[in-house]
């Protein structure tokens, strides 16, 4: 859909004002990100734009990026997922509970040594399971996605409180914490995971029949069905994939924090949906790219980072964030409306 980028220059290789305007208009989300980065640079006299800042930003946004990629794909298929934050939190608690140091008296399973891969696998499995449940409810139960995932949001929150008895799961093994806290030279592991996920999903969405099916369903489910696409199965697949990505997000979050508690992941659904939306994913379905979601995540990230760097009161941060989401999406919608 939106994957082909028009050349800046026209056929003769001459850059005209019109082509520049056209290109800028087509990539509002990227323009927004660049404008924000430049603005931050100017406002801090360039101090905010250091290598270490970039590392901080990458680390801060990586966990959210997985959640945004998951929900972004779901939104492309005309869905929505409100269960993200609570599922990520549940996954974080489950994976953390299997990664506690065995000599810690307050551990959920004191004295038991689990291999370090177990929390990763179980955590991702829990996320995927929730994705499958969401998918079944939406695709085969015909529940509106908003309602179905509102239900599973509450179920995940309840399970998390029951499982942890509302306490904090801490004292995680160093090997486990290393998964998200380590880095390869200047590159944090977290960033490598995100880039790998972006690459894989990008290939899926642009180079495979699966991706085409997702776009087709998002564009027009009836037409997709007529052209022989199994809409229900594909919807199940996209919610399951979303759950799988939240699973990764939850595991990375507990590893990064070195703990999990019932507040972990709280409210992440809003950040993830906002990031996907700012990244140009249209809620009417069928429109948006993986690269766009990635840009959306970092657009919101740079806002938070920049305001934190400048010491802006967090109350104002919420205000500014909200306004930027509205403005970015307004222009994006206008662009789509023009095209339609």
Partner 1 sequence: MKKLIVAALVIMTAVNFTFAAGQQEAGSEKVTIGALIRNTDEQFVADYAENLKKLAAERGVDLKLLDSRSDQAMQLDQLNVLLTQGVKHFVIVPNVTEATEDMAKKIDAVGGGAAFSNIQPSVEALKVSPNFYLASSPESVAGQIQAQILDEYFQAHPEKMANGDPNAIDAIFLYGQLGHPAQVFRSEAAVKGLKDAGYTVNIVAEDTANWKPDEAQAKMDTWLAAYSGKFDVVIANNDGMALGAVESLLTNKYTDDPSDPTKDVDGDGTVLRVPVIGVDATGVAVKSMSEKKLFATVLQDAVGQSTTAFELAYMMATEGSATGKDAWGISPLTEVTGESPATDAAIVGQCYLVPFAAVTMDNYKEFMQ
Where does this chain bind partner 1 (CB under 8 A)? 3, 5, 27, 29-30, 33-34, 37-38, 41, 45-54, 56, 59-60, 63, 161, 164, 166-171, 177, 198, 202, 206, 253, 256-259, 261-264, 266-267, 289-292, 294-295, 298, 304-305, 308-309, 311, 313-315
Q: Which residue number, 235 or 290, has a Cβ lying nearer to partner 1?
A: 290
End-to-end CA distance of the chain: 12
Question: How far is Cα 261 from Cα 243, in angstroms, rounded to an integer?
Answer: 20
> Are 92 and 223 spatial neighbours (Cβ–Cβ below 8 Å)?
no
Q: Which residue number, 88 or 138, has a Cβ lying nearer to partner 1?
A: 88
CB of 173 to partner 1, least distance (A): 13
Question: How far is Cα 110 from Cα 260, in angstroms, rounded to an integer?
Answer: 17
- How far is the CA of 32 from the CAs of 38, 146, 292, 332, in angstroms? 10, 29, 12, 11
CB of 239 to partner 1, least distance (A): 25
Q: Which residue number, 202 or 331, has a Cβ lying nearer to partner 1?
A: 202
CB of 200 to partner 1, least distance (A): 12
CB of 14 to partner 1, least distance (A): 21
Q: Which residue number, 141 or 267, has a Cβ lying nearer to partner 1?
A: 267
Q: Which residue number, 178 or 227, has a Cβ lying nearer to partner 1?
A: 178
Q: Which residue number, 244 or 305, has a Cβ lying nearer to partner 1?
A: 305
CB of 269 to partner 1, least distance (A): 14
CB of 298 to partner 1, least distance (A): 7
DSSP for 96-118?
Answer: HHTSB-TT-TT-SSTT----THH
Within 10 Å of residue 36's Cβ, how many Cβ atoms?
20
CB of 227 to partner 1, least distance (A): 26
Closest of 195, 212, 217 to residue 75, by C-alpha: 217
CB of 32 to partner 1, least distance (A): 11
Within 10 Å of residue 29's Cβ, how many Cβ atoms?
27
**Encoding tokens for residue 199?**
């690459």
Virtual torsion, Cα 186, 192, 193, 199, nearest 10 deg: 160
Question: How far is Cα 40 from Cα 17, in angstroms, rounded to an integer?
Answer: 27
Q: Which residue number, 141 or 322, has a Cβ lying nearer to partner 1?
A: 322
Closest of 142, 149, 129 to residue 85, by C-alpha: 149
Question: How far is Cα 76 from Cα 172, in angstroms, rounded to an integer?
Answer: 37
The secondary element (H helix, E strand) that includes residue 188 is strand 187-188
Q: Which residue number, 181 or 220, has a Cβ lying nearer to partner 1?
A: 181
């Amino acid at each position: 859909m939106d994957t082909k980028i028009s050349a800046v220059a026209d056929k003769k290789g001459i850059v005209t004002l019109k082509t520049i305007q056209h290109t800028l208009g087509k990539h509002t989300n990227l323009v927004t990100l660049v404008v924000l980065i430049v603005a931050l640079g100017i406002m801090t006299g360039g101090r905010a734009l250091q290598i270490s800042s970039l590392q901080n930003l990458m680390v801060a946004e990586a966990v959210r990026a997985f959640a945004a990629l998951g929900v972004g794909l779901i939104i492309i298929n005309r869905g929505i997922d409100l269960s993200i934050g609570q599922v990520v939190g549940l996954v974080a608690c489950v994976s953390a509970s299997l990664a506690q140091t065995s000599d810690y008296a307050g551990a959920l399973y004191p004295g038991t040594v689990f291999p370090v891969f177990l929390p990763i696998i179980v955590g991702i499995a829990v996320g995927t399971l929730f994705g499958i449940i969401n998918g079944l409810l939406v695709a085969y139960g015909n529940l509106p996605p908003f309602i179905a995932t509102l239900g599973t949001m509450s179920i995940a929150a309840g399970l998390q409180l029951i499982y942890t008895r509302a306490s904090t799961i801490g004292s995680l093994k160093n090997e486990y914490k290393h998964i998200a806290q380590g880095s390869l030279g200047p590159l944090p592991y977290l960033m490598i995971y995100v880039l790998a996920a972006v690459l894989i999903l990008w290939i899926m969405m642009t180079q495979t029949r699966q991706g085409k099916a997702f776009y087709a369903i998002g564009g027009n489910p009836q037409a997709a069905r007529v052209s022989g696409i199994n809409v229900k199965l594909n919807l199940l697949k996209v919610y399951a994939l979303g759950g799988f990505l939240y699973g990764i997000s939850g595991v990375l979050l507990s590893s990064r924090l070195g703990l999990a508690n019932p507040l972990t992941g709280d409210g992440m659904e809003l950040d993830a949906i906002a990031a996907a939306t700012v990244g140009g994913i249209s809620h009417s379905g069928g429109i948006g790219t993986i690269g766009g979601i990635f840009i959306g995540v970092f657009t919101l990230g740079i806002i938070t980072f920049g305001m934190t760097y400048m010491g802006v009161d967090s109350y104002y941060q919420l205000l500014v964030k909200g306004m930027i989401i509205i403005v970015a999406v307004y222009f994006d919608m206008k662009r789509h409306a023009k095209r339609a």
